[in-house]
Amino acid sequence: MKILFILSFLTSFTVLYFLYRESYERTWKGRVYYLFFLWLASLELILKWEKIDVKVQEPRSKRFIISIITALLPTIYVFISNFSGLNALIMEISPKHYGLDWWSKFMPLTIEYLVFTVLSLLLVVLIYGIKGLRRFALPITLLGVVGLIFLIDNLYPFGEFSPFQIFVPTTTMLAANLLTLMGYQTELKGQAYKVPILRVQSDMGEASFGIAWPCSGIDSLLIYSLVTILFIEDNDASLRQKAAYFLIGAVITYFINALRIAEIFILAIKYGATSLEVQRFHDHYGPLYSIIWIIVYQVIMIGVQFLRRKASLRHAAKDL
């Protein structure tokens, strides 16, 4: 029963892979985060196998039967949403913006993330009890946060969501300064649809883009904040050290976001603003840079914590 949680979502994710293989290559409005969800959940299970208690013991108990049924629900939802017309209905009733249906096309994926988040919460409570929520908070939070980020963008596209968009001008200025240091000419050309327009020129050509909060990596800052707070909660470091860990990582994450913007302009000037290279970086590699950094930083903190414990044990041994 310990691996039922993993098997439940592994099955549904596998079905989705055969239905939408390309979506597992997309980070923005894609299913790459499902892979990170499985990795984080599996890592928690492997590292704390002996400490994780299973509440379901008797195969004939009501809890066992309900757990099995709940474990099937993610896969059942995949089949219902994709083969009963549910996804088409979701797209139909989703809001259209600026006469475009681009955002409504991604609403089924957004609802899918949120449904999986709710089902993962239910399944963890049934199998591991309330304490299980604490152990699997990281992967579940990742699913939920990504779903909410996609939902906000679908409902409030471009720069309409002010709480996130308010950080964009600063990130845009940082990206412009980085490009200037690289020898490019940059110019801020006002706003369109509430997003700042940055124009970049070089001997090879020029490119102009409007920069909304998803493009500037505000989503990765939000994911970083929640993941890191959950990660350092059980860290034995002092409050001051935890704050330092968080701030250092946040600054680097912010800088990576500015580099992402700069890289898009470099690719646009080299290959063209509508080129496949720009699209791939925007949807695939750019967000992936931030996610990989977030994971690497957690590993770095584990290493720092291990070295601190080792050093404290050495000092204790010397005192003896």
What confidence tens digit (pLDDT) does each residue in 58-68 have? Answer: 777 888 899 99
Together in a domain, 165 and 152: no
pLDDT of residue 313: 75
Amino acid at 182: M
pLDDT in tens, 69-81: 999 999 999 999 9
Report the domain count for the chain. Answer: 2
209 in the same domain as 168: yes
Pair 197, 210: CB distance under 8 Å: yes
Domain boundary among 157, 191, 222: 157
For the chain, list residues with pLDDT below 50: none
Query: Does one domain contain both 195 and 309?
Result: yes
H or E stretch including 185? strand 185-192
Residues 20 and 130 in one domain: yes
Same domain for 20 and 120, yes or no, is yes
Selection from 139, 115, 121 nearest residue 33 by Cα: 139
- In angstroms, the CA 42 to CA 58 distance is 24
Instruction: Give me the pLDDT at residue 35, please.
Output: 95
Asked if 152 and 163 sit in the same domain, the reply is no
Phi and psi at 99, nearest 5°, equal: 75, 10
How far out from the chain centre does Cα 303 lie? Answer: 23
> Do 143 and 1 share a structural domain?
yes
Same domain flag for 148 and 184: no
Give me the domain span that covers residue 16: 1-157
From 123, 139, 157, give the residue that closes a domain: 157
pLDDT (0 to 100) of residue 120: 97
Instruction: Check whether residue 191 and residue 148 sit in a common domain.
Output: no
> What does the pLDDT read at residue 118?
98
Residues 205 and 101 in one domain: no
One domain, residues 299 and 153: no
* Per-residue confidence (pLDDT) for residue 320, from 0 to 100: 58
- Is there a single domain that holds both residue 171 and residue 284? yes
Given 157, 176, 207, which residue is the final one in a domain? 157
Strand partners, 210: 197
